[in-house]
Amino acid sequence: MAFIVKTAKTVRNNWKKSVVAAVAVYYVGRFAVRKYNEDLLRREFCNEAKKYGKVKIGVTDKPRKIIVFLNPASASGGAVKSFNKNAAPILHLAGIEVNVVKTEFEGQVKKFLTALEKHETNAVVVAGGDGTLLEAVTGFMRKDDMSFRQSVPIGVIPLGSMNRFARLLFGTDKDEGEDGRTSFSLSGLQTGVYRDAEARKSKYWYFGPLKHRWTHIRTAMKEWPPVFKAKISYVLATEENTKPVFTSQIKKQSPAPQSKSWFSFLYKIKPVKLDPKYNEEEMDDSLDEEITEELDTIEFCVNSSNLNDPSKNLKGFECKIGPSEPNKTEVIKEGWRRINDKSLQLGSPTDKSLIVKKIKLIPEIKDQEEASWFDIDGENYEAMPIEIKLLKNRLNVFYNGSISTS
């Protein structure tokens, strides 16, 4: 009892040190528990991977092999360490031949995929952020061999800051690129005052955690209203004009040549099966009625119409158009609301919404130093005339349906 009384007096007489010590113990304890739980989770996944690695294969069968595109710049430079610690052991224990390609420059993934043949890999894994995934998808879609994207699935290891598509898959399109060529998107497009505020917040690092709020206050201090002006032409999505009316049929590909060796007589070479025909959905454009109008808004967003409910039949894009002359207080409040909003939905709940089949956007070029920008899957593109169309069922993306997305 005397010890308890003495300890209580010591804490009372040195309450400042006691508070600091208590806070330090609390955070150290939380850190230790989190690391312990992460180790348990890694161990569980490794034990599961061993089951696949112990499966026997035939003498003539080749081990499965994958290509991993790893962006070392992701995760603030910690992508390589994170991949080697969490993902690489699981892949190796599963008996998979892993070839890691570390990206060194922009566009490298697209160029690599252009030369990659489907007999050279069983899958492609993208370990990086939304930009690396965007490059990989564009590389897939630009290949002349359309059966490649049907037979080779894509795996995603989210190592970026936003990871929009990974969040869509696991919980928590087509656009004109900057060089006038076709780029392919998975999540959506956003432009306007809130995108600009998000892009500027890193400049206000000296505000610490308040930089997320200050960037929206700073927006209200600029020229008002900060509208985005453009000319848009779109086709509203209906049940008739979004029905698949014909498919692209792909001829059977010739099998890859196999090299012969002096010991080939010891066993019979397993014949390579020809690829089946693949069908890709197309939509009839003969019923399209194009609508053209002038756009004057603080924000314009385009995303999949089944983003909130993936089980809903995908009809087209959801275009969200914000107000043209909002109140400064409303803009600040909406910006602050989005700080804690973890949903994937772009735009505001009060925005005008349109479900369209395709859309053309010609932005008005600003005669000022600060140009307009598009955010496409987390990557910034200078605002230029673009055309967005929907491509259905073109890629196979690995997804474990047993994972809860709630």
Domain ranges within the chain, ordered by starting residue: 54-172, 189-244+283-389
Q: Do 54-172 and 189-244+283-389 agree at the fold level?
A: no
* pLDDT confidence bin for 69, thresholds 50/70/90: very high
Average pLDDT over residues 224-238: 86
Of 138, 64, 67, 140, the residue nearest 103 (C-alpha): 67
**pLDDT at residue 176 tops 50:** no
Six token digits for residue 117: 């043949």
Instruction: Please give the helix or strand (H or E) that residue 10 lies within, else none.
Output: helix 2-13
Task: Quote the CA–CA distance of 28 and 22 in Å, as a whole number.
Answer: 10
Task: Quote the CA–CA distance of 348 and 345 in Å, as a whole number.
Answer: 8
Length of the chain: 406
**pLDDT at residue 149 tops 80:** no
- Number of Cβ atoms within 10 Å of the Cβ of 133: 31
Q: Could you tell me whether strands 317-321 and 299-304 are parallel, antiparallel, or unpaired per DSSP bridges?
A: antiparallel
Taking only the tens place, the pLDDT of each residue in 260-301 is 443 343 344 444 444 444 556 677 777 788 889 998 898 989
Task: Quote the CA–CA distance of 25 and 11 in Å, as a whole number.
Answer: 15
Provide the mean pLDDT of the chain.
79
Fold designation for 189-244+283-389: Tumour Suppressor Smad4 (2.60.200)
Which one-letter DSSP state was computed for residue 272?
Answer: P
Q: What is the pLDDT of residue 369?
A: 55
Instruction: Please give the helix or strand (H or E) that residue 359 lies within, else none.
Output: strand 352-363
What sign for the dihedral angle of Cα 296, 131, 402, 313?
A: positive
* pLDDT confidence bin for 180, thresholds 50/70/90: low
CATH number corresponding to 54-172: 3.40.50.10330
CA distances from 94 to 155, 170, 229, 358 (A): 15, 21, 53, 43
What's the pTM?
A: 0.54
Percent of the chain scoring above 70 in pLDDT: 80
Q: What is the pLDDT of residue 279?
A: 57
Q: Which range, of 190-194, 335-339, 395-399, averages the lowest pLDDT?
A: 395-399
Residue with tokens 């990659």: 116
Of 134, 131, 46, 148, the residue nearest 95 (C-alpha): 46
